[in-house]
Structure 1
Amino acid sequence: MSTSIISSLAFAGKQVTIYGGILVFIAGIVGEFFNIVIFVSLRTMRQNSCTIYLIIMSIVNIFQLCFNVLSRIMINVYGSDGTDRSLIYCKFRFFFSQFCTVFSLTCFCLATIDQYCATCSRVWLRQMANIKVARRLSVIFMSIWLLHGIPYFFFFNYSVSLTGKISCIATNYIYLQYRAYVVVLIFQGFLPITITVLFGSMSYYNVRQLAFYTVPLVRRELDKQLTAMVLVQVLINFFVLSPYSIANALTLNTNLNSDPIIQAQIQLANNITLILYYTHLAVSVT
């Protein structure tokens, strides 16, 4: 009986990943493409520092859809995404996947912070919201996350199971724990949620006070529009990133995972929340 339940839960998780992943992939590619076109084509948008972060985020998200979502679809449909055939691709896929995820979330955090600065009453903070700062911060954080991903090339290797299946996994236990508790739970979960909700809320408060600031009308309206766009994305990110972070925390609980049925249920929840997690890539902010 328990075997059939576990098999049913595994099958359900597989179907969710395949069909949900296909929907997210198609919608995401279209949505991110429109984001880039609109941000680049409109001169007022192109000259805004917040837009710089959003353009970079949209470009990175397209790669993230290809390396993360499409890869998971291929694993569930064909049983392989190619990482078991090339060790170089195995290492690069996980390196680039991690880089795209954390850099995309970093860009969105910077966008919310930028909007807070742009709508703040303090002049020195408003001066921080400029294109030069945006470009420099983008390069700095891109470099940080590229360097942060270097251990993937050393610690990700092939592992052969008892059935002869080749898997590309982290073979260093310490790095495996670091990736699970720090990278996935903090950098890809609770930290960006906290930053975006905090600065998004403060930006919302600032926008309501814009009428009392000595800011040109055109700039004021643009800030209102961008803040509204960012706030919508903040709300979406909160509701789709939170469940995945919680599900990931549950998978790390060894007491819960000792029961095979509960473990299968948690894995199903993990598959569902993972697809939900990637829906933030399928939402156009424009």
Structure 2
Amino acid sequence: MCDMNMSSSSRDLTTRTTIQIVTIQMTYYGPVLLLIVGIFGCLCNFLTFTSRQLRQNSCAFYFLCASVFEFFSITFGLISRLAADHLGSNLQNTNRFYCKFRAYLVSAIPLIATYLILLSAVDRCMSSSTYACLRSFSRIKNAYRSAIIAILVALISCSHILITYDLRPRCSTLVGTYAIFDGLFVVFWLGVIPHILMLIFGFITLLHIKRVRQRKFMEIPIDTITTSNRSVARPSHKTERQLILMMLVQVGLSSLLTLTRMIYYAYYILGPPLKGYDKMIGSFLMSFTTLLYYSNYAKSFYIYTLTSRLFRTVFLQRLRKCTEAIFHIHRLSIKTT
């Protein structure tokens, strides 16, 4: 009986040690990998969406702006987390200014990127509509205004973090009722609400596409095709179709990754306090879902590359031109020397 108890306690100790090692390795190598993959992808997105073919497209503009804020999300969020977890930085718990602004920026910047992807879903929903008044929303001029409004809403809605976060003695928010509000704010305002809206607009876009295809394949004599019939076929344009596909896949994966994180975050923050072995498992799952959360902001280039031939073509063209320009400058510098 004593041997059985010793064997059980030995297995338990081995399991705990394994979980601790896996958690440490995951929180070190995971952010490093996401930084490399994410920074490369965001730079490639910037190169592609600034091309002449996509520069004046409203949906591509939202993707471009989202890539910029995704870049800031992964660089600031992951580097500061990596520094705190493995590089011995304690700035977050010793500097009041850094405590407040880190808490603010790690919420506001990802929220801006999320809103811009939401706007791309709204844009594709409108552009695929059979009503001209709704399709008029998908103009680059409107995209500029909408992006500015989204950025302001995100920055203002997160401003309460600057007031409530402070050194207590570690960097944390107010305790009590506000702590519950802060948890609900993160779960719903930063996660559930924008992604539910993305899914709704994505579903409506699919309905619009189905309706357009039904009209397109109706037997209409050539001489009776009116201007309005031609405008209905607009979403079948190659660029529009591929941007819709990019948006749908982006929205689907973004919702899966972010909502997985938010569901567990809600349980971890708002649920009963974890103790002992459960606390260790909870810490592992929190670290794992945090990596899923940041992978959401590192994935877009790879999604666009896999789902869109147009994106691949434009990216390779831009890459070729940049390479040729670099070699040309290099040759000129050699000749001058």
TM-score range, shorter chain: 0.7 to 0.9
How many Å apart are 1:106 and its aligned residue?
0.7
Q: Could you tell me which residue of structure 1 aligns to residue 163 of structure 2?
A: 154
1:130 aligns with 2:139: yes
Match of 2:153 among 144, 148, 151: 144
Q: Could you tell me which residue of structure 2 aligns to residue 238 of structure 1?
A: 255
Q: Could you tell me which residue of structure 1 aligns to residue 178 of structure 2?
A: 175
Alignment of 1:52-91 (within 5 A): 52-80=61-89, 82-91=91-100
TM-score, structure 1 length as denominator?
A: 0.88
C-alpha contact (below 8 Å) 1:98/1:149 kept by paired residues: yes
Secondary structure of 1:252's match?
Answer: helix
Match of 2:127 among 100, 118, 121: 118
Return the alpha-carbon distance in structure 2 between the equivalents of residues 210 and 22 of structure 1: 45
For structure 1, the 5+ residue unaligned runs are: 161-166
1:281 aligns with 2:283: no
Match of 1:97 among 103, 106, 126: 106
Q: Higher mean Cα deviation, 206-215 or 276-285?
A: 206-215
Q: Higher mean Cα deviation, 268-277 or 109-118?
A: 268-277
How many Å apart are 1:225 and its aligned residue?
1.0
Cα deviations by residue, 1:124-152 (Å, 9 ceiling, x for unpaired): 11011112221112111211222223222
How many Å apart are 1:210 and its aligned residue?
4.1
Q: Could you tell me which residue of structure 2 aligns to residue 109 of structure 1?
A: 118
TM-score, structure 2 length as denominator?
A: 0.75
Task: Please tell me whether Structure 1 or Structure 2 has the larger radius of gyration of its CA atoms.
Answer: 2
Cα deviations by residue, 1:172-209 (Å, 9 ceiling, x for unpaired): 54432222112x21122222221122211222333344
C-alpha contact (below 8 Å) 2:49/2:60 kept by paired residues: yes
* Root mean square deviation, CA, Å: 2.3
Q: Could you tell me which residue of structure 1 aligns to residue 23 of structure 2?
A: 13
Return the alpha-carbon distance in structure 2 between the equivalents of residues 155 and 17 of structure 1: 27
Q: Could you tell me which residue of structure 1 aligns to residue 5 of structure 2?
A: none
C-alpha contact (below 8 Å) 2:27/2:287 kept by paired residues: yes
Return the alpha-carbon distance in structure 2 between the equivalents of residues 198 and 229 of structure 1: 16
1:263 aligns with 2:266: no
Return the alpha-carbon distance in structure 2 between the equivalents of residues 132 and 219 of structure 1: 23
Return the alpha-carbon distance in structure 2 between the equivalents of residues 145 and 126 of structure 1: 26
Return the alpha-carbon distance in structure 2 between the equivalents of residues 253 and 156 of structure 1: 18
Secondary structure of 1:47's match?
Answer: coil
Q: Could you tell me which residue of structure 1 aligns to residue 208 of structure 2?
A: 206
Return the alpha-carbon distance in structure 1 between the equivalents of residues 14 and 90 of structure 2: 27
Report the residue type matching 1:31 in the other structure: G
How many residues matched?
277
Q: Per the alignment, do residues 81 and 59 of structure 1 end up closer, same or farther by CA in structure 2, a change over 3 Å counting?
A: farther
Return the alpha-carbon distance in structure 1 between the equivalents of residues 182 and 155 of structure 2: 15
Q: Could you tell me which residue of structure 2 aligns to residue 163 of structure 1?
A: none
Q: Per the alignment, do residues 81 and 120 of structure 1 end up closer, same or farther by CA in structure 2, a change over 3 Å counting?
A: farther
C-alpha contact (below 8 Å) 2:112/2:150 kept by paired residues: yes
Q: Could you tell me which residue of structure 1 aligns to residue 335 of structure 2?
A: none
C-alpha contact (below 8 Å) 2:128/2:235 kept by paired residues: no
Q: Could you tell me which residue of structure 1 aligns to residue 224 of structure 2?
A: none
Match of 2:32 among 3, 12, 22: 22
Report the residue type matching 1:68 in the other structure: G
Q: Could you tell me which residue of structure 1 aligns to residue 318 of structure 2?
A: none
C-alpha contact (below 8 Å) 1:49/1:130 kept by paired residues: yes
Q: Per the alignment, do residues 7 and 75 of structure 1 end up closer, same or farther by CA in structure 2, a change over 3 Å counting?
A: farther
How many Å apart are 1:226 and its aligned residue?
0.4
For structure 2, the 5+ residue unaligned runs are: 1-8, 217-228, 305-310, 312-337
Q: Per the alignment, do residues 20 and 258 of structure 1 end up closer, same or farther by CA in structure 2, a change over 3 Å counting?
A: closer
